């Protein structure tokens, strides 16, 4: 009788852990919304970028993608990265999944899915795709490199792209 009770307690504990893990996974799945129209998301972000002087940062991926989830958590937890994004970008989480691959958005963006997921796309306020970033180049070990991510984000801000005016050019 004692063995049976111990077995039941262990079984209940294991099942509870499994189901609580599923609850966590469901929270993680809220990163990307497969019901959204990617082109509408992008057009709205471009409009906002145009009036704010920022660029659009598209993170194209899915809730099924462990590296997409890692990047989302990494970028939110790192205050330097969060600040660069908040100060310089209109962020968009563009879904790619069996139920919504956002084909029109993929075509508009220049087929960034060829690089795998997540993939990052920088768009200016006029709707021009400026850069497609293969996220594998930002990785380090089992995660992402703060130095590489900040370097990438900093190099594609609106102010970084506009060349500085030299003093000798202002006299002309």
Say if residue 32 is preceded by a cis peptide, omega within 30 of 0. Answer: no
150 C-beta neighbours (distance < 10 Å), count: 16
Does residue 56 contact residue 45 with C-beta atoms inside 8 Å? yes
Average pLDDT of the chain is: 86
* Global confidence as pTM: 0.80
pLDDT at 163: 75
Helices (H), 53-135: 66-77, 79-88, 103-108
Q: In terms of Cα–Cα distance, which of 46, 72, 47, 75 is closest to 61?
A: 72
Spatial separation of the C-alpha atoms in residues 77 and 92, rounded to whole Å: 18
- In the chain, the domains with their CATH numbers are 38-157 (3.40.30.10)
Does residue 133 contact residue 122 with C-beta atoms inside 8 Å? yes
**Tens digits of residue pLDDT in 39-88:** 999 999 999 999 999 999 999 999 999 999 999 999 999 999 999 999 99
Q: Span 9-25, mean pLDDT?
A: 38
Spatial separation of the C-alpha atoms in residues 167 and 102, rounded to whole Å: 46
Share of the chain above pLDDT 90, in %: 76
Confidence bin at 16 (pLDDT 50/70/90): very low
């Amino acid at each position: 009788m004692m063995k049976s009770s111990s077995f039941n307690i262990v079984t209940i504990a294991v099942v509870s852990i499994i189901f609580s893990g599923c609850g966590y996974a469901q929270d993680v799945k809220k990163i990307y919304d497969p019901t959204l129209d990617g082109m509408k998301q992008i057009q709205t972000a471009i409009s906002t970028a145009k009036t704010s002087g920022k660029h659009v940062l598209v993170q194209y991926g899915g809730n099924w993608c462990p590296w997409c989830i890692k990047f989302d958590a990494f970028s939110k937890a790192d205050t330097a990265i969060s600040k660069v994004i908040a100060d310089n970008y209109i962020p968009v989480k563009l879904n790619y999944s069996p139920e919504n691959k956002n084909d029109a958005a993929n075509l508009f963006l220049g087929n960034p899915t060829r690089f795998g997921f997540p993939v990052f796309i920088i768009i200016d306020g006029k709707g021009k795709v400026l850069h497609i970033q293969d996220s594998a180049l930002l990785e380090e070990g089992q995660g992402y490199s703060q130095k590489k991510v900040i370097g990438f984000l900093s190099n594609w801000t609106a102010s970084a792209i506009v060349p500085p005016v030299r003093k000798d050019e202002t006299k002309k």
